[in-house]
Structure 1
């Protein structure tokens, strides 16, 4: 089975069928699907999140998708951080664009990572790898993933759960912007605390 054929099979209807078939396993399938997307980024995360929202409801679907996506991103980060000196990753880190992005992440820490992870069409797999190769501190990365993925996954779940309501009730879009702003402020304050602790040590 080639990659194109696999992509054609991963439709909302098929994923919903899989979730229904394995409903006896509880939330595990809903968590597992977004998790594997972090390792296999050609899988459509948006479809997994929409399917979870449809199968489990808005809130449970959001929570399961968020847990899976965060766990996958953090796992990729730690794998790259551990094996970053291997030949392949060493080659990647020397690429001018990757090196530039690594330097940017090193300088700004939480901020750019949070923003990149907020948006559904950002190649989060690339962000995870670059963060793993950079010198960003582990607490900063985990904080950015938890906050950024929260915004992204909730937005996807909300849109996927009821697309018509998003158009008919524009206040929803305003609420999403407010959530992004609040998480940005909280994240920056937490980052400042991490910086203070790091200096003290």
Structure 2
């Protein structure tokens, strides 16, 4: 496996991917919002490697924003249908919806900035909350570049990173730190949601 992972093979794959055209770079990131099992990091890195930092970033940014917003609009329109219950009636999702309605869009903005956040959950919560459509689009438009640019930069300098053990180790360490930071923020957010909702329930009981 490692013998196959050579610069020539990587460049051949990049050239073949480039032949698919920039529309494919947009479509892959667009459909990733609907199919979270697709590796967004790999797609964004491939776009940057094939089209360069600027255009690779633009293609990935455009695709992921449009895809996330499309999921948001579909959930806003059909999220309360019975067939969507398997997505929308999860306890954690319902708690986050209530909390977002209380706290506003700032927590979602922070989550969208992390590359390993389960974006599908964020889109579901936003779609079922009372956030206005234009506010969520603006949030996606502003928050997504933070995540996409960091991954695009990695892809645009892929050859240099793979040829330098120091750069490769640094890139891996940064990805690990970002992953742990994202998980720590999610855990912090979940605890805060639980705490705030308990306070609301306690106030309701006290008022009876």
TM-score (norm 2): 0.67
1:94 equivalenced with 2:89 (yes/no): yes
1:66 equivalenced with 2:64 (yes/no): no
Superposition deviation, residue 144 in structure 1: 1.4
Larger radius of gyration: 2
Cα distance in 1 between the residues matched to 2:97 and 2:104: 10
For the 8 Å contact 2:18–2:51, the answer to whether it is kept is no
Cα distance in 1 between the residues matched to 2:35 and 2:12: 18
Superposition deviation, residue 125 in structure 1: 1.1
The match for 1:140 is 135
1:118 equivalenced with 2:113 (yes/no): yes
**Within-5 A mapping of 1:16-165:** 16=14, 18-23=16-21, 27-90=22-85, 92-162=87-157, 164=161
**CA RMSD of superposed structures (Å):** 2.5
Deviates more, 1:71-80 or 1:108-117: 108-117
Cα distance in 1 between the residues matched to 2:93 and 2:12: 36
CA deviations on 1:92-123 (whole Å, 9 max, x unpaired) are 43332111111122122221111111001001
Sort the Cα spacing of 1:94 and 1:153 in 2 relative to 1 into closer, same or farther, 3 A: same
> Of the two structures, which has the highest relative contact order with CA contacts closer than 8 Å and spacing of 6 or more?
2
Superposition deviation, residue 33 in structure 1: 0.9
- Unmatched 5+ residue regions in structure 2? 1-9, 175-208
Number of aligned residue pairs: give it.
156
For the 8 Å contact 1:109–1:140, the answer to whether it is kept is no
For the 8 Å contact 1:110–1:143, the answer to whether it is kept is no
TM-score (norm 1): 0.69
Sort the Cα spacing of 1:47 and 1:66 in 2 relative to 1 into closer, same or farther, 3 A: same
